[in-house]
Amino acid sequence: MDELAHLVAAGSVLILSGAGLSTESGIPDYRGPRAGAVRRSTPMAISEFRSSTSARRRYWARSHLGWPLISRAEPNAGHHAVTTLHRRGLVMGIITQNVDGLHQSAGADSVLDLHGRLEHVICLSCGATSRRHDLQRRLDEANPGWAAAATRVNADGDVELPEQAVESFVVVACEHCGGPLKPDVVFFGENVPADRVQLAYRLLTDASTLMVVGSSLTVFSGRRFVTRAVAEAKPVVIVNDGPTRADSVAHLKLTARLGTTLTDLVDQLVSPHDVATYP
């Protein structure tokens, strides 16, 4: 912790956050605790979603039950600690792989949502965007009396449902053109938009240290920034409750719970007056 505090105290820290930061808010990860390479389940691939009407029905039926988990989630101590460090001027930017918007709910700005946000919906035909809350209302209206119970909740508000419940679910279309709707997030097998990646690289160039919190760095979309940081001789600090694919190249690795560790870091670096000012 002393070495972590020393690095962060120097400022210009870029945060890269992953799903592990949100588990303490009740949002599950696709990987079990301390099992960085083992998926609990495989998310739907973009190719399947685009090509299959039944796949889209399955996705939206499951998401319809899972969305309230995301929309009701509150930022936890880890999110608030990151916000405090950011407002104190020690963290210069936040790149998140999460799609839950909890960094913003905790009051952080300058957040780059690498994989998008679940609260936004986009039409695959005309590109019109809308709010996920509005879609939830439309799905409620299209499925009066539809009742199903999830057998398990996965990450990103996805749940597992019996097939018979999926088959009876009615999916609504774009109100502008009648095209298929998709959450405005990067699906499995889909590329992060190039301009978003370039912006993230520019943030990394301006940073002195890359601090990874709550990510196993299993997927390339996040791990690429660790690779770039190492190439630029910038220290990489990892705080995660389990192994990551970049442990061998990290300048410092802490295996610990995020909320407690980040709160302790704030206690070491930020005065009580600042903590009261930046909850």
Tell the CATH superfamily of the 1-27+75-115+191-279 domain.
TPP-binding domain (3.40.50.1220)
Is 115 an annotated catalytic residue? yes
pLDDT at 153 over 80: no
Count CB atoms within 10 A of the CB of residue 259. Answer: 19
Q: Which of 64, 103, 115, 133 is catalytic?
A: 115
Task: Please provide the average confidence, as pLDDT, over all residues in the chain.
Answer: 90
**In this predicted model, what pLDDT tens digit does every residue of 178-219 receive, in sequence order?**
999 999 999 999 999 999 999 999 999 999 999 999 999 999
**In this predicted model, what pLDDT tens digit does every residue of 270-279 receive, in sequence order?**
866 554 444 4
20 φ, ψ (degrees, to nearest 5):
-60, -25
pTM value? 0.90
From-to residues of CATH 3.40.50.1220 in the chain: 1-27+75-115+191-279
Q: What is the pLDDT, as a whole number, of residue 198?
A: 98
For residues 34 and 278, give the distance between their C-alpha atoms in angstroms, rounded to a whole number: 31
**In this predicted model, what pLDDT tens digit does every residue of 44-74 receive, in sequence order?**
899 999 999 999 999 999 999 889 888 999 9
From-to residues of CATH 3.30.1600 in the chain: 38-72+118-185
Q: What angle do CA 134, 135, 136 make, to 5 degrees?
A: 90
Topology of domain 38-72+118-185 in CATH is SIR2/SIRT2 'Small Domain' (3.30.1600)
